[in-house]
Amino acid sequence: MKRMTLSEYLAVPENYRGVWTTERWDIPDWENLRKKHMGKRTLMVYDRGTCLLVEGLSLEIVDDSSWKKPEKIKKEIREKYQEYRTEKGHEPHFLECAIRWNDTLETLETRIALSMDSDTEMDDEIFFYCDTLDSLLSLADKSGEDFVIAGCFGFGVYEELL
């Protein structure tokens, strides 16, 4: 089953997506199959040949309209970073955040290190390592990684994890 967000679905040209409205009495047992097709969103894809995916059968469309946009997440990260630096007077070691996997669209609460050494006793507590704030911010956009930052909770230091 192919999973995609509503935004991704709507970004596909209308010639390749739509809603099933055609009655197909030429298909055997159409009367029983009808409810699985009529009114469902469809998507034409090329996967070892041209295929028509039907919502609920071979296509799942996840509503992402309530998800925070990358620019809003970046703004939150910058604000929480600045807040931390002002309050504590030093660089944070990690970001507490939620990530969303690009393939399954599932979320996970985790930590991303910022200017923190890898291969320490805290490795099990860290999901991903970044060298700079800019590289951390880039994770809010779909990039070369398998995930995006979906939410920002705040920054912390290594000693808090001990």
Distance CA 157, CA 141 (A): 25
- Supply the mean pLDDT for the chain: 91
pLDDT value for 161: 60
pLDDT tens sequence across 95-154: 999 999 998 999 999 999 987 666 666 677 889 999 899 999 999 998 779 999 999 999
Q: Residue 162 above 60 pLDDT?
A: no
Which residues, other chains included, contact 114 with Cβ-Cβ below 8 Å and sequence gap of 6+? 91, 92, 93, 94, 95, 130, 132, 133, 136, 155
CA trace torsion 36, 40, 44, 46 (10° rounding): -50
* Residue ranges per structural domain of the chain: 2-62, 70-161
